[in-house]
Amino acid sequence: MRIRISPINRWLEPLCTLVVFGAIVRAIVYFYQNDHFPQPFFYEPFDTWMDWFNPAAWAYERGAYDSWGSIYPPLSFVFLRIFSLSTCYRSASGYVARDCDWVGLATLHGIFLLNVVLLWFTFRKVDRKTATWRALSLGFSLPALFGLERGNLIVVCFTCVILGFGPLLKSARLRWIAAGMAINFKQYIIAALFSQLLRRRWRWFEGALIATIVIYLVTFALMNDGSVIQIYNNIADSSGLYQAITFLDLWYAATYKPLMSLVDGQAWVISSVVGSRGMDLLAFWLPAVHYSILGSIGVAVIAAWLRPEVVPIHRLTFFAFATAMLVSEPGGYSETLLLFFVFLERWRGFARAWSIFAGYILCMPFDIILDRVAATVQESYLAGHQTFFDYYVTVGPFVRPGLVLSIVLAMSCATIRDVWVDVRAEGWQRRWRFRRDAAVLPRIRPPIFKAPQ
């Protein structure tokens, strides 16, 4: 029996959008009452925007890769140097420059608002009825606002992902450049290039890869720092040092990797909450579920390789981002990239409907408190004075990674089912009959044949 869910879509997506903006209003009211934003916004209120100004300070100084140990290619520093006031960085301190560099702040917030506009134009190519709700919900979602509060370059990278991997740009060369810039901002995005190979788009893969290398070489020459060896060594050092030790490491994670690390290395932190029996269950089931979901991506990718014309390219790119996220744990704000491809899906079938609904839940910027842990005095930058900051154990760190995994599993099951239906109808013989998809593929005009004279 087929479940009809299209009527639900008429009111569910607007309702979810209202919840997102209601949570934003609630966060603003909470700030005026407590002089800091509530959980799950960042737990150090004095560190607002410092993911932008700390690297901007190193853009004017030598040692970004030697002393500071940066893991990102030189494009980040070149970009921040262009969109900043050099006079604000004479003291080489990002905290001092934050009060001075209005160009950097205007650029950060301007690009954030630009992303909302680009999302609206992109989603209109998929479904005009839902474009507004999805653009507003994702543009002002928790991962997007968390990245804005941190001042993280994921805000700029998201612009490049929309242009490079979305259907908005028609020029392949411009999309290659945007994809190359996205990879030079966040290296794990390079996984998205390999999704093109599943559709046998060899030229697209080569063009984007060449654009990535050229952008790196140009910015490396401008920066005169950040060799491949330096970046590789810094990535190896930072990955080797990663170990969750407190509940703060679970504050806003995209996967269960921090929780698994906490269970393995600091079991007493979790056992005091869930007990020894709960610890045993977590130690077994967390890795089992995590790697099972990765396995489902592998099966879906194999299915897509057998029938590439059945699976839209945005879903293959989704699998690439999901794999990179589950392997590396890039942080909660990286969910913005994943949800972008989820919202390119149509409200059709249970798996897609659940993925879209779970995506809306991940967009909601609020949390449910379970228990109060501690209170401390923190310096609030936006308030301009000290304030009491209460730390809570909340539902989010345990539920949000589960929702991400459920979306990945649902998309994998939808892909496997689509391929199986096509195989049953057409047999195992491969037929290259790419269907027109308004969200991904351009309109293909039939050839015009002239009658023989």
Q: What is the pLDDT of residue 106?
A: 95
End-to-end CA distance of the chain: 56
Decide which of 275 and 93 is more confident.
Answer: 93
Tell me which of 333 and 329 has the higher pLDDT: 333
**Token digits for 163?**
């242009």
Q: What's the pLDDT at 437? A: 43
| pLDDT at 432 exceeding the cut of 70 | no
Of 159-163, 192-196, 230-234, 262-266, give the lowest mean pLDDT range. Answer: 262-266
Q: How much is the pLDDT for 270?
A: 61
Alpha-carbon gap, residue 19 to 133, rounded angstroms: 11
Q: How confident is the model at residue 30 (pLDDT cuts 50, 70, 90)?
A: very high
Q: For the whole model, what pTM was predicted?
A: 0.88
Q: Would you state the pLDDT for residue 449?
A: 39
Confidence of residue 287 (pLDDT cuts 50, 70, 90): confident
**Runs of H (alpha helix) within 378-448:** 396-426
Amino acid 272: pLDDT: 57
Which of the two residues, 418 and 258, has the higher pLDDT score?
Answer: 418
Kindly state the average pLDDT of the residues 66-71.
86
* The pLDDT of residue 370: 82
Closest CA to 314 of 284, 345, 286, 285: 345
Which residue in 179, 172, 146 sits closest to 321, CA to CA? 179
pLDDT in the model for residue 365: 93
Q: Say which residue, 424 or 179, is predicted with more confidence.
A: 179
Average pLDDT, stretch 188-210?
91
Mean pLDDT confidence for 200-209: 92
Query: Distance between CA 13 and CA 287 in Å, rounded?
Result: 33
Q: How far is CA 19 from CA 117, 337, 357, 366, in A?
A: 20, 21, 13, 10
Averaged pLDDT, 412-430 = 83
Mean pLDDT of 52-59: 91
For 121-164, what is each residue's pLDDT tens digit? 999 998 889 999 999 999 999 999 999 999 999 999 999 999 99
∠ CA 188-331-287, nearest 5°, is 90
The pLDDT value recorded for residue 76 is 94
Say whether pLDDT at 115 is over 70.
yes
Q: In which band, very low, low, confident or very high, does the pLDDT at 446 lie, cut at 50, 70 and 90?
A: very low
Q: pLDDT tens across 344-391, in order?
A: 998 888 999 999 999 999 999 999 888 777 788 888 999 888 888 888
Q: Residue 330 pLDDT > 90, yes or no?
A: no
Cβ-Cβ contacts under 8 Å for 41 (sequence gap 6 or more): 27, 145, 146, 149, 365
Give the chain's mean pLDDT: 85
Whether residue 45 has a cis bond before it, omega within 30° of 0: no
Q: What is the DSSP letter of 386?
A: E
Residues 6+ apart with CB under 8 A from 110: none
